[in-house]
A and B are shown apart, each in its own frame.
Chain A
């Protein structure tokens, strides 16, 4: 029987360390900066264990009962800790407070265990044996935990299920103790029912945890999620922190409200500002309406056709008050016509010509998106502008993905378009590139631009400098992106690999 208690030391030690590792991993996963997360979690946990050990002296009677109760409580709190924290992360703004509170509570209870067990066992061993045995099992448990956590638990079960599994072990220890020492504990029946009920609940939770985990679908967003929607085509996530709003599509940042003006002013005005009295503008992609907002600054514009695949995306930016204040209700403006269609198919069937065309697609991170940067697509795109019209293409980062950028330029040239690449610095994205394309050569003169008033970033004088490329922004390649080679997606994948932004 005594050895059963020693075995429970082993189990309890394993469980204790597992909870610590789970919360540490979870915190660094959600909050980033694993060094900070792990040290603060470990520190808090150890300190809480100390607090628990201190309070152990206030328990005098029915130590076995106390031990059993503690096991059940740890089983519940520890077992559900990971699931609870994941949920809390998505819905609660003071996540850190909850995180450390939970760590502290678990730590306190785990800290109670060993002193209590030592006192329970004190009459059954000599002191030197007792100390040696207890700590031996304690440390072996720690070893097992620390090895199995990265090798078995995380890869095969994941954090939520691992926590539940070890919660079950804690309660199982409680139940076994009840059964084995039934003569020595008070109100044994009541405790037994309680332990069995808890065990059943946890086993059921474990059984359903797969569904729970998939519904949580833990994201890698550092900010608080204020909106999340899976549409037929993409996952839209809107986050907010410190007054900064960010839009992610499939986990890739689309804009940050702090500096999106840099991106969109550059996308729109560098081209549109050179066109004399533009009347008709086509926007491909750009369902957030931010490019349209910039275009609407030109009073001569009579009509904007915006083609974006996802009606849920444009719907969101038409109706959500925070977002419509950001795009200044551009999508519901009477000059703007929103078409929810695949841009490739739309452009292929289109027979109209526009003065200015904005191509604002997601980066070519998948083969499906790579089609929108292909020679075939640009061939059709060419016929959307008149002979003196201009096309502006968002073209990923010429710093991170210089070859990709050059491939986009090459592909536009290959269908017979003349190009002038330019770039700006957008803090959220880094160095960002665009390509201006036209059916006739594009001249850059100082005085060509007629910019609307009230821009925050661009000015007449600086625009010519955007066309200057430093040496480290120039990629050497002659490749052309075709549907049958998708060389852009392959190059893009390689170039962004080290940056880890794209994980579709």
Chain B
């Protein structure tokens, strides 16, 4: 009994700290080993071409050529415009694309594992009245029959299970929160649902649906267009939607389609997201078409049809309207570094419209668009080998509640192959939107960020949803879309409906881009492609 308390404490502490210490070092060692990068990857940044072009502006043209119809921009809008020119038998056109690959926001990539999207990755089923788009999808081999009996190929309809939400520690089916939310949240979601259902079938005094896709088919009844003068936030507040869950969901949807939050988006555009799609025949209004490479699938078909008309690695600058059927421009080739003078009957501007003020000689009658209408996006394609328990639970779209990212899409979801060894590609979408920061400020903030910095953020986002997943990751490719897409801010829709006719002052200049609609959707690209092709054909005297 000679031992004193101090000694007892000392040894007690020693033994217990030896115990705790070993656990601690064990954890330390593990966490350090995961910090070493076990994956490769690259950063794809397209801003370089813009800088090169700015330098080339001063160059004098050496050659001269005539291109009767010149399409500036090889994104979905430009390609669809070309497609409709060609399907109507007109072949005297060229599509000029600045990057080495066409596609714009519908571009895609491919590695040994799978094809995967770099941007737009699905097309919602069109509304019944959108006959042109239904026909287009039939021509692409995606749909059969017509009218109410239209049938979409099961191979391209998004397979079940479609989407899930990671909320409060567990996954739930559907992105719309339904589990682990309060009674009040549920009530508000229900109230919003009822509001949406009512608006879906509501018509304006002009007999058109209040909200339609394409946007130009919507009612222009001033009573409803008044919604364009307030923000979606204000609308929600006015209608007592104040639950955090409801707000998260609304904001998620706005970021998803417009790249900006509820505080900037106009209430009209906010409601348009929810209310403009109606069930088609046997299909409900949540059905979508998707492919491993996203809308890149459509792109490849268009590319095949238009291959003799596409000139990539070239940019159209210095567009000069000299009178009817006389549009001068210069074309810069990034590879040969040559500048060529070009004369056209018609020029179709299918590039993002904030560029028009740099590319048109006359600065009048240009779309009222500026760079702050375009927020940035980051898209990451992560190649990894998933363990079976994670693989079996994957949905097509996987979203985390409260995250700044929009979640990830599983590229191999649409594959017919029943079972794989778990190697796959997940595409993470990350809109770089911050409240009270302009798009230009955000672009400045992210300029110079390295691949490593992006990849770390991407990986930790995956770790949030799937702890321990980083050790399975093999490759992380990151693409920064500096001016990803136009978002419909307050007042945009008013401009969409009223200002287009002003472009007609210069006969021979056409604007065919989703920016005409103020929202970057496939349906809008298709609408303007189809519409513009008809106008151009009439103008050049084909029909």
Contacts and interface: CB of A to CB of B under 8 A. Distances in A.
Interface of A: 1, 4, 168, 172, 175-176, 179-184, 199-200, 203-204, 206-208, 232-234, 250, 309, 342-345, 348, 366-369, 371-372, 374-377, 482-487, 489-490, 504
A175 B15 contact: yes
A203 B416 contact: no
A364 to B, nearest CB: 10
B351 interface: no
Given A342-B419, A366-B392, A484 B159 contact: yes
B100 interface: no
B287 A376 contact: no
B249 to A, nearest CB: 23
Interface stretch (B4-12, B306-314, B324-332, B441-449): B4-12
Contact of B154 (A168, A372, A374): A374
Given A176-B8, A367-B392, A484-B158, A345 B22 contact: no
Given A180-B3, A233-B419, A342-B418, A203 B8 contact: no
B36 interface: no
A176 B418 contact: no
Interface residues of B, number: 32
A482 B154 contact: yes
Contact of A342 (B1, B7, B161, B417): B417
Nearest to B16: A172
Given A1-B3, A376-B155, A172 B15 contact: yes
B280 to A, nearest CB: 14
A84 to B, nearest CB: 21
A201 to B, nearest CB: 11
Given A207-B22, A374-B154, A375-B154, A180 B15 contact: no
A232 B421 contact: yes
15 contacts: A176-B11, A176-B12, A180-B3, A183-B2, A206-B22, A233-B419, A233-B421, A344-B418, A345-B416, A367-B161, A371-B418, A372-B418, A376-B154, A483-B159, A485-B160
Contacts of A377: 416
Interface in B1-46: 1-3, 7-8, 11-12, 15-16, 18-19, 22-23, 26
A181 B3 contact: yes
A179 B419 contact: no
A179 B155 contact: no
Contacts of B26: 207-208
Contacts, number: 106
A487 B160 CA distance: 9
A369 B8 contact: no
Contacts of B422: 232
B8 A180 contact: yes
A278 to B, nearest CB: 27
A368 B419 contact: yes
Given A1-B1, A376-B154, A483-B157, A179 B7 contact: yes
Interface in B402-429: 416-422
A344 B416 contact: yes
A367 B160 CA distance: 8
Q: Lowest 10 CB-CB distances: which A-B pairs, in order? A: A232-B421, A486-B160, A179-B11, A207-B26, A484-B157, A483-B159, A342-B417, A344-B416, A376-B154, A203-B22
Contacts of B418: 309, 342-344, 368-369, 371-372
A272 to B, nearest CB: 25
A179 B8 contact: yes
A484 B26 CA distance: 46
Contacts of A208: 26
Nearest to A361: B418
Contacts of B287: 484
A232 B423 CA distance: 10
A4 B160 contact: no
Interface in B291-313: none
Contacts of B157: 482-484
Contacts of A368: 391-392, 418-420
A482 B18 CA distance: 59
A369 B419 CA distance: 7
Contacts of A369: 418-419
Contacts of A342: 417-419
A473 to B, nearest CB: 27
Contacts of B417: 342, 344-345
A369 B418 CA distance: 6
Contact of A483 (B12, B22, B154, B420): B154
A426 B416 CA distance: 32
Nearest to A371: B418
B392 A199 contact: no
Contacts of B391: 368
B416 A371 contact: yes
A368 B419 CA distance: 6
Contacts of B15: 172, 175-176, 199
A4 B154 contact: no
Contacts of B8: 4, 176, 179-180
B161 A486 contact: yes
Interface in B252-275: none
Given A179-B3, A482-B157, 15 more contacts: A172-B15, A179-B8, A180-B8, A183-B1, A183-B3, A233-B421, A343-B418, A368-B418, A371-B416, A371-B418, A483-B159, A483-B160, A484-B287, A486-B160, A504-B388
Contacts of A375: 154
B160 to A, nearest CB: 4
B392 A168 contact: no
A484 B392 contact: no
A198 to B, nearest CB: 11
B170 to A, nearest CB: 15
Nearest to B8: A180
Interface in B449-502: none
A207 B18 CA distance: 12
Contact of B19 (A203, A309, A372): A203
B425 to A, nearest CB: 16
B419 A207 contact: no
Given A176-B8, A483-B160, A309 B22 contact: no
A489 B1 CA distance: 70
A80 B392 CA distance: 34
Interface centre among B11, B12, B15, by most chain A C-beta atoms within 10 angstroms, is B15
Nearest to A124: B1
Contacts of B158: 484
Nearest to A207: B26
A375 B7 CA distance: 77
B392 A200 contact: no
Contacts of A371: 159, 416, 418
Nearest to A208: B26
B392 A504 contact: yes
A233 B419 CA distance: 7
Nearest to B385: A232
B419 A309 contact: yes
Contacts of B419: 233-234, 309, 342, 368-369
Contacts of B11: 175-176, 179
Interface string B158-184: 111100000000000000000000000
- Max chain A C-beta neighbours (<10 A), residue from B1, B7, B8, B416: B416
Nearest to A375: B154
A3 to B, nearest CB: 11
A486 B392 CA distance: 14
Contacts of A366: 392
Which of B11, B16, B417 is the most central at the interface, judged by chain A CB atoms within 10 Å of its CB?
Answer: B417
A180 B3 CA distance: 6
B457 to A, nearest CB: 28
Nearest to A179: B11
Interface in B142-158: 154-155, 157-158
A179 B8 CA distance: 7
Contacts of B18: 199-200, 203
B69 to A, nearest CB: 40
Contacts of B420: 233, 368
